[in-house]
Amino acid sequence: MTQRAIFVVNPASDGGATGRAFPAIAAEARARGIEVVERLTEAPRHATALTREAIAAGETLIVAVGGDGTVNEVVNGFCDEGGTPLPGTAALAVIQRGTGCDFARTFAIPKKTALAVAVIAEGQRHRIDLGRATYQTPAGPETRMFANIASCGMSAAVARRANETTKRFGGTPSFLYATAATFLRWHNRRFRVRIDGAERELIANNVVAANCRYFGGGMKVAPDAQPDDGLFDVALMGDISKVDFVLNVHRLYRGTLGRHPKVDYVRARRVEVQSDEPLPIEVDGEQPGAMPVVFEVVPGALELVVP
């Protein structure tokens, strides 16, 4: 039986390779019995508008084709401007084509096109949580959803550097280089954090609200995160020095960062973060604004097609 799917494609992702590869992707999907309806993005946040249009028209399957930024834009299309999930029966499927491809890792969604298309054709729907970030911009407060991870502090500066420089060497080397280069110039700040009403004040490098497990091109920052439990895994990265970084960067990839005495993990539904200066934030690798920021879990907000 043929199933219809709206393919929201970012042709500029993966250095423009996605646009060139999409005819082959579409052919693979059709061979699997999928009716391909192509929607190409033309500008930032266009994927969000295309997704909302598809859901309003009653479509039941939206496929995000692109990097983590494209996935984030499509995820935002499943919600209104205030972050409330839209009514309907649409599910998200993913063909990841970017540098990091971190969202798919938690769910073991393959990066290889043929295998990813097989998941769309044969996989099952699984309901997961989303995160909602409310932050500051020059125009005032804004809200943006995230499916994977959001953070504030050095990680946002790393994401910006990685996005502004070449990624031709691949996700892990590119993000590792950006992390090291940013850390050399970074100094930790005082954060005021309210976690489900409990207040903390600390000198910190980062505060991470994780719905899923990976960011930064394969860094396993939240190894125990469950994207369907109604909670964030919150990583409080304290006053980590440059020596600490050199000696422990391997822990980010092995999922053992929690063994470091300056790193603390808690689970929470709501995280509010402030500092004495408007430090950048990132959501799913994008940098939409600055602190102060509130991260909230929206339980069961999205159906995802998984293996």
User: Where in the sequence numbering do the catalytic residues fall?
Assistant: 68
Backbone φ and ψ for 71, nearest 5 degrees, come out as -60, -45
* Helix H or strand E encompassing 178: helix 171-185
Residue 192, number of CB atoms within 10 A of its CB? 16
Looking at the DSSP assignment, which residues form a beta bridge with residue 275? 191
CB 291 within 8 Å of CB 141: no
Measured between alpha carbons, how far is 112 from 89 in angstroms, rounded to an integer? 27
CB 278 within 8 Å of CB 290: yes
Measured between alpha carbons, how far is 49 from 70 in angstroms, rounded to an integer? 12
Task: Return the DSSP state at 286.
Answer: B
Measured between alpha carbons, how far is 238 from 188 in angstroms, rounded to an integer? 8
Q: Which of 258, 268, 167, 160 is nearest to 211 (CA)?
A: 268
Measured between alpha carbons, how far is 267 from 233 in angstroms, rounded to an integer? 5
Please tell me whether residue 280 adopts helix, strand or coil conformation: strand
Please identify which residue in the block is written with the tokens 């994780």: 210
Measured between alpha carbons, how far is 214 from 131 in angstroms, rounded to an integer? 15
Measured between alpha carbons, how far is 287 from 214 in angstroms, rounded to an integer? 17
Please state the separation of Cα 137 from the chain's center in Å: 20
